[in-house]
Amino acid sequence: MDNQTYARYLLQLMGEEVDSNEADIEEAQFYGYFQMYMPDGKGVEATFEPLEDGHAYLQKILQIYKMLDPEDFSASAVPGYFTSKAANVPNEILIDYGRQFIQGLKDLMLESSEKTDTVDSVDYLLGIKEIKIVPSGSIDGIREQYDPEIYEKIFDIISEQKAYDEPIEILDEAYYSIACDYWISYYLQWHRYRLSGDPFAAYFELYRRGYSVVFSENKLYIGP
């Protein structure tokens, strides 16, 4: 199945009319696609049925629905993104997830070093001076002063690993729009990139508990 055939299949799931003579369907048409199955994910399995590795995608995406609170969808106004209320997590657990995340990224950089120059990124991660837990509401201000090295290198690595003509690529914007977070998107599609490990697993554990992560000033900041 090519990505345009898959795109037409998805449009049918959305209840939209599909013209077989229509010009190429773009990824942007599926922005917010997974929100259609909020809050419990019922019916989302049909999304992946045509894909040979659909089960792997399904098992990952179901995790994002499990973090939702059905009560948040009982009113007329409902959440537009997949977010979670911050849990009261002890600092030592948050720091441990932070350490796991840093180690996962180190492993990713080292694995990718033959295709991409990751020396500076590895040095940056080795030089992280502190994992700092910050109060609620302060993480967005820190994000404005983020260190770009890791973010840009991860983007380069993933771009190198993508097969842009495979069917799942048509859902790239749909995955991004789950949380407007590329790292959540990468976590949910990780097997697609044919890389070992699961470097964003710890990041997702923080996210589903209501926490954000920012690399800034040679520190890893974690906050609700």
The backbone torsions φ and ψ at residue 112, rounded to the nearest 5 degrees and listed phi first, read: -90, 0
Provide the pLDDT for residue 48: 98
The total of other beta-carbon atoms located within 10 Å of residue 104's CB is 18
The total of other beta-carbon atoms located within 10 Å of residue 175's CB is 26
pLDDT tens, 41-68?
Answer: 999 999 999 999 999 999 999 999 999 9
* CA dihedral (138, 141, 147, 150) positive or negative: positive
Provide the pLDDT for residue 22: 66
Paired tokens of 127: 């030089």
Provide the pLDDT for residue 21: 67
pLDDT tens, 138-196?
Answer: 999 999 999 999 999 999 999 999 999 999 999 999 999 999 999 999 999 999 999 99
Distance CA 28, CA 86 (A): 30
* Residue bearing the bigger pLDDT, 85 or 190: 190
Q: Which of 171, 179, 168, 224 is nearest to 65 (CA)?
A: 179
- The answer on pLDDT for 76 being more than 90 is no
Q: Which of 23, 26, 21, 20 is nearest to 3 (CA)?
A: 26
Average pLDDT over residues 6-35: 90
Average pLDDT over residues 114-120: 95
Cα radius of gyration (the chain): 19
- Domain limits, the chain: 3-223
pTM of the full structure: 0.94
